[in-house]
A and B are shown apart, each in its own frame.
Chain A
Amino acid sequence: MKQSSVLKIGATTAAGLLVLLAVVWLVWVPSPKEPAYVLTISWGGLGSGAGQLNEPTGIVVHEGEVFVSDARNARIQVFDVDGRFRRQFGGKGDGPGKLGRPMNLAIHQDELYVADYWNDRVEVFALDGTPRRRIGRAGSAPGEFSAPGGVAVAANGDLHVVDFYNQRVQQLKPDGRFVSQRGESGRIGIWAGEFNYPTDVALAGDGTLYVADGYNDRIQVFAADGRFLRKWGGPFALNVHGPFNGWFATVTSIALGPEGNVFVADFYHDRVQKFRPDGTFLTAFGTPATGPAHTAIAVDVDADGTVYVANFDAHRIEKWRPGKR
């Protein structure tokens, strides 16, 4: 073959690849439609004293108070919205009101629901820290858990619990009776309705269920009747991870804002990404990691749109406000 022919083939291949890259970029890497959020304050720091944290892994804000899963200290700490310590409860153990590794949190009708990863149950407290009841036990049968990572509570009191090692999301009655599940117990999958170590859930007012499908690097959405609706996160939302807008690498928490927008903790990229309910990318923000661990592990949104983020790497809580256009 002549040298000129080889050069022609090479040039054509390179041009084809460039076009393909451009198409991928245009289709799967959306531009921000909103400015990034701005960090206003943060608090905490590594330690076991009141107000200090050792690996925060869950967060929920409710009527002027911020509840934090202080995982390695096996407790819940409560702050006001400016970071002033108010109270703590829990403590290491597996007895009533004790915690192993508290993860993502939810509040419903003035009760705090704690997904306890080590004790394989959902521990329920009054907001003052009084233990109320516990739901579930270790196992893989209906109503049992293997490392629950997050919980959401429906208007009728039904629980939706992410069951990490069982690769499913269970719906339970308030007393723990099994109702239904999404995903096949113990089976990892990448297709619609299947999970790969799910980590958290959030419920919209109409019962739409948003699932942080952790190691599949995507969000899956289900209707109130259990039907799969949509998914997003990278090309075809099929476990393709990357640092681009709208892509993830291990999603660890999900929350809904006052306008129904979806906030996702994109842990390995040290950021929170914000989407419309249909998955349209809006913006991203976060704090770069300084250590071997990563930062944005849990997220919640206040009624006024303020976003609270648990920074795992720095053992801190961050408060973010929408940026100005």
Chain B
Amino acid sequence: MKRYIMLPLLLLWSLTALAAGTQYAMRVDGLACPYCAYGIEKKLNQIEGVERIDIDLENGLVTVDVREGVEITEARMLQLFKDAGFSYRSMTRQRL
């Protein structure tokens, strides 16, 4: 009986692990103005595979979750933030 319970659980765990995406956290200056923040959101939303965007005004932090297989490069972010009128500082990434 135990085996019958464990098998679906293992299957579920492996599917979740395989579907895990990546979270990027980017430090940016000057986020308090919504004209800037909305500009960033707009541009990030246009990237294929972006699933969630969070903008932390207090800490100047933009967090983006992307689905499995999608990669955001630092060069792309540099350009994106420059186009949005921002000073991009740094980026970290972690598996979800």
**Cβ of B13 under 8 Å from chain A:** no
Q: With A117-B42, A147-B42, A215-B85 known to touch, is A252 a contact of B35 (CB < 8 Å)?
A: yes
- Residues of B participating in the A interface, judged by any CB pair closer than 8 Å: 32-35, 38-39, 42, 57-58, 83, 85
A166 CB-CB contact with B under 8 Å: no
Q: Of A100, A101, A197, A293, which one neighbours B57 at CB under 8 angstroms?
A: A293
The answer on a CB contact under 8 Å between A71 and B32 is no
A-to-B contact residues, CB < 8 Å: 55, 57, 71, 100-101, 103, 117-118, 147, 149, 164-165, 197, 199, 214-215, 250, 252, 267-268, 291-294, 297, 312
Given contacts A197-B85, A291-B58, A293-B57, contact A252 B33 (CB under 8 A): yes
B32 pairs with A268, CB closer than 8 A: yes
A55 touches B35 (CB 8 A): no
Query: CB-nearest residue of chain B relative to A252?
Result: B35
Contacts of B32 in A (CB 8 A): 268, 292-294
Q: Which residues of B contact A293 (CB under 8 A)?
A: 32, 34, 57
Select from chain A the residue with minimum beta-carbon distance to B58: A292
Give every chain A residue within 8 A of B33 (Cβ-Cβ): 250, 252, 267-268, 294
Whether B34 and A164, one on each chain, are in contact in the complex, defined by CB atoms closer than 8 angstroms, is: no
Chain B: CB-nearest residue to A147: B39
Q: Which residues of B contact A292 (CB under 8 A)?
A: 32, 57-58
Distance in angstroms from B50 CB to nearest chain A CB is 14
Report the separation of the CA atoms of residues A103 and B58 in the bound assembly, to the nearest whole angstrom.
22
Residues of B within 8 A of A268 (CB): 32-33
Contact in complex: A71, B38 (CB < 8 Å): yes
Tell me which of B34, B42, B83, B85 contacts A57 (CB under 8 A).
Answer: B34
Q: Are A55 and B85 in contact (CB under 8 A)?
A: no
Chain B residues, Cβ within 8 Å of A164: 35, 39
